[in-house]
Structure 1
Amino acid sequence: MSKSLADPLTLPCGAVISNRLAKAAMTEGLATPDGVPTAELERLYGLWSDGGAGMLLSGNIQIDRDHLERPGNVFIDREPDAAMQAALSRWAHAATRNGNHFWAQISHAGRQTMKMINPHPKAPSPIKLGLPGGQFGEPVALEKSEITDIVRRFAVCATAVKAAGFTGVQIHAAHGYLLSQFLSPRSNQRSDEYGGSLENRARVLLDSVAAVREAVGADFPVAVKLNSADFQKGGFDFEDSLQVVEWLEQAGVDLIEISGGTYEQPKLLGVEGVEAEEPQKVAKSTQQREAYFVDFALAMRSKISVPLMVTGGFRQKVVMQQALDSGGADLIGLGRPMCVMTDAPAQLLAGLAELPRYENRLALFPSWLAFLSKVNALKAMATFAVQYWYFAQIDRLGRNGKADPALSVFQATKETTSLQKSLVKRRNG
């Protein structure tokens, strides 16, 4: 039977998401230097709750204060005190005020921790991120005892957000963050039980899923965000991903979000990385030009029955409907459009045919940035600059409730860079 975007989705744990549209996870940078949620986060997620999505995903909530993906992340790396628990509860209350789900994306940045936060972050192996610009430091290999503690921290974080009123958790094992680093033979060159075979490389992820499930119980949604592939030579590939999703289904997860890429190869952003993209063995459809990962999810459907969420590139309602009809997606994730059009889900459900494309380079990029994006050594700079435009929109929504589509990329980059430096300075006191 055909599904529509307005239809509810029942998860294996019994929870029901009211429609097939979700606000995808996007980093906010609006916490205090001590990782505490703020009134700005409450305002932001209140707007998104009013926007009509059946489920909202938070940006990275980190399980280690020394491994943030950017300054201003919320972090929970120990049992929260009363003030922190109250702040989490206020955030969750605002984010669910329209009756939607609000899930915490819980994560550890590993070697993708910026040098200004930690010049020597922990990682599976001491392999530095291959990006120009010097923003990331030399990582240090994790000891076995530290890996065990990371698994424990995922459970501590999940327990805290459930107590605060979040309605689910998503374990982030994509985009080159720590669990993704373990999965990749390119960044994981360990010779112990956490390296080598795919079974060993997936061990930390599966242990974390088990620990979180034990912490939150059988009727609380537990999801995983997983790369379809890293799209890098020698990295985590689609054949690996097919096997891992089977293991995740056996582990009892309720939803798997399919994405792809890392900082080095940002497929998730629909742009070229600093190296050539590694082809993957998956049949391509006409949808693939807009919805980056639908084809991978469709291929996974023959292996698993767990619900799948697909995020990345969706703009046309007809393509979203095709993804549902094909079986390639059970839930559609919307990201960048909601940085400006906070009620994009409600508008789609009311009949809007296509969401605005703010990333259109002719409209958004000044000429110098368009030039940078064509020079291989400077692609990373151009990619971060565009990301900063969306960061600045999220910041404006949180601080005054209004986006600014006319904002220049240059001004957004200046503002975001200044804010991040200020947060680090205050953090280091």
Structure 2
Amino acid sequence: MSHIAEAIKIRNTTFKNRLIKGAMSEALANYAGQPNQLHLGLYETWAKGHLGCAITGNVMVDFRAKNEPGVVVVETERDLAKLKEWADIGKKYGMVQLIQLSHPGRQCPKGLNKETVSASAVPFSPMLATTFGTPRELHEEEILEIIQRFAESARICEKAGFDGIQLHGAHGYLISQFLSPLTNKRQDQWGGSIENRMRFLLGIYKAVRLTTSDNFIVSVKLNSADFQRGGISEEEVVAVFKAIDTAGIDLIEISGGTYEAPAMAGAKADKRKVSTIAREAYFLDFAEKIRKEVKCHLMVTGGFRTAKGMNDALDSGACEFIGIARPLAVETDVCERLIAGQDVRYAIAPIKTGIPFVDKMAIMEILWYAAQFKAIGEGKQPNPKLSPLKVFFHYATNNVKAVIRGRVNSRKSA
């Protein structure tokens, strides 16, 4: 029997199967951060392919803090009508939809925003310092404001008709920056002990719960590790998982890494044990450990490529959901095929431009797939042979334009 095809319920929402599209950057919005027909075309294509649940790419809660050009921003009801169209796609095809809410903190390219902020003013490693500037440390009143921004964005998402949200607490974004001792050097109630460092995450969760209904799904994406020396310890990670579970979270997606150590893109795959590689998923071993500590539903994303590997993971009890991401960029019908017991067609290899400093950042693991999403949104077929170098230069050009536009608008508003 295929466990992948089994239905499961969270609160009053039924997931028709166990396959969830993990969040991937779409970069399809305009400068103002507005969703459009490309988003609708992309998600309808996936919905037609029998996807059980889709978690959107990063949706920012603050226009002043965008992680990249083309990111959607939901901070007011300005785009409520288009958001409702987006949410209606899920209802039409029985696909659950969760909006991933995020604040990038320090992970914003230089010049894209007026400034970058974080838990503490910690610079990036030398390799990335040319791209990402040193952030300003947040004042406490700003921390409280950001918490309320998450809550307001969640309220708008529910009003639009989405089934729930996912808080992005992984991959080095702001919530993760508060959790990690590498990026949180504060000496007040928001830093120091793990209890203080998780206060930001718990504050956001509680604020979201207060502004949404009992049937609204609230999930979170968390790192199993930073994969950096001096990062959050496994003991601290377990404490975070247990605390958010006790608070009432519905679903935790397990991931790992940051921009400086991108394990989420499979960068650590060559260092995994042979037994782990055989089981496919990057974070399945950690899921088995945390399963004993929490009661909420768990989702493992990254590395799955066969129907057997996915069914085995579900059968083991380590997780209730399988996250798939990159295969959906080149095989829009992959969910239907997996449910039928067939495997992923294309082997997913690291995307390389041949430019060393670009390839070390693993940024093409975002950009190349975003280019595929644009094609799908336009009703075209994805292109597995698309040139990474061509994609990078197109991105660099658009990024320069966004920086120039941002500076012009900043001068006008000054």
Q: CA deviation at 1:416?
A: 2.4
1:197 to 1:310, Cα distance in 2 relative to 1, 3 A: same
User: Identity of counterpart residues, as a percentage?
Assistant: 38
Q: State the partner residue of 1:149.
A: 145
Q: Which residue of 1 aligns with 2:314?
A: 324
Q: Aligned match of 2:256 in 256, 260, 272?
A: 260
Q: Deviations along 1:144-198, whole A, 9 cap, x unmatched?
A: 0000001100000000011111111111100000000000011000000000000
SS in 1 for 2:50: coil
- How far residue 423 of structure 1 moved from its aligned partner, in angstroms, is 4.0
Q: Deviations over 1:292-346 (max 9, x none)?
A: 0011111001111211001011111111111111111110011000011112111
Question: Secondary structure, in 3 states, of the residue corresponding to 1:111?
Answer: coil
In angstroms, what is the RMSD of aligned CA positions?
A: 2.2
Long gaps (5+) in structure 1: none
Partner of 2:8: 9
Query: What are the within-5 Å matches in structure 2 for residues 117-156 of structure 1?
Result: 117-118=112-113, 120-130=115-125, 132-133=127-128, 134-156=130-152
**Equivalent in 47, 50, 56 of residue 48 of structure 2:** 50
1:186–1:69: structure 2 CA closer, same or farther, 3 Å change rule? same
Deviation at 1:4, TM superposition (A): 0.4
Aligned to 2:378, the other structure's residue is in SS state helix
Match for residue 342 of structure 1? 332
Work out which of the residue numbers 12, 19, 22 in structure 1 matches 2:20. 22
Q: Distance in 2 between matches of 1:178 and 1:285?
A: 34
Tell me: CA distance 1:51–1:131, structure 2 relative to 1, closer, same or farther (3 Å). Answer: farther
Distance in structure 2 (CA, Å) of the matches to 1:92 and 1:392: 23
Residue 380 of structure 1 corresponds to which residue in structure 2?
360
**CA shift for structure 1 position 92:** 1.7
Q: 1:247 to 1:25 in 2, by over 3 A?
A: same
Which segment is superposed worse, 319-328 or 387-396? 387-396
Q: Is the 8 A contact 1:230 1:260 kept in 2?
A: yes
Query: Match of 2:77?
Result: 80
Question: What's the offset of the Cα at 1:36?
Answer: 0.8
Aligned amino acid, residue 130 of structure 1: S
What is the SS of the residue equivalent to 1:57? strand
Written as runs of structure 1 = structure 2, the 5 A alignment for 1:234-383 is 234-272=230-268, 285-286=275-276, 290-359=280-349, 365=352, 368=354, 372=356, 379-381=359-361, 383=362
Aligned-partner residue type, residue 215 of structure 2:
D
1:98 matched to which residue of 2?
A: 93
| Counterpart residue number, 1:193 | 189
Q: Give the equivalent residue in structure 1 for 2:30.
A: 32
What amino acid maps onto 2:5 in structure 1? A
Structure 1 letter corresponding to 2:375: R
How far off is 1:14 after superposition?
3.3
Match of 1:228 in 2: 224
| Counterparts in 2 of 1:401 and 1:94: CA distance versus 1, 3 Å | farther
Q: Which residue pairs with 1:214 in the alignment?
A: 210
Aligned length: 407
Superposed displacement of residue 385, structure 1: 3.1
Instruction: State which of 104, 110, 117 in structure 2 corresponds to 1:115.
Output: 110
TM-score, length-normalised on structure 1?
0.89
Maintained 8 Å contact 1:72/1:420:
no
Deviation at 1:379, TM superposition (A): 4.7
Residues 419 and 95 of structure 1, relative CA distance in 2, 3 Å threshold: farther
Residue matched to 1:399: 378
Distance 1:354 1:405, change over 3 A: closer
- Equivalent-residue separation in structure 1 for 2:404 and 2:111 (angstroms): 9
CA distance in 1, matches of 2:197, 2:256: 17
Contact 1:48 1:95 (8 Å CA) reproduced: no
| TM-score with structure 2 setting the length | 0.93
Is residue 49–residue 96 contact of structure 1 (8 Å, CA) maintained in 2? Answer: no
Give 2:366's aligned amino acid. Answer: Q
* C-alpha displacement of 1:389: 1.7
* In structure 1, C-alpha distance between the alignment counterparts of 2:352 and 2:359, rounded to whole Å: 13
Partner Cα separation in structure 2 for residue 89 and residue 406 of structure 1: 35
How far does residue 230 in structure 1 lie from its aligned partner after superposition? 0.7
Q: Is it true that 1:167 corresponds to 2:157 in the alignment?
A: no
The one-letter amino acid paired with 2:69 is P
TM-superposed CA distance for 1:388, in Å, is 2.2
Is 1:182–1:204's contact at 8 Å kept on the other side of the alignment?
Answer: yes
Contiguous gaps of at least 5 residues in structure 2? 410-414
- Provide the C-alpha distance between the structure 2 equivalents of 1:14 and 1:114, rounded to a whole number of angstroms: 40
- Once residues 70 and 358 of structure 1 are traced to their aligned partners in structure 2, the CA distance between those partners, rounded to angstroms, is 24
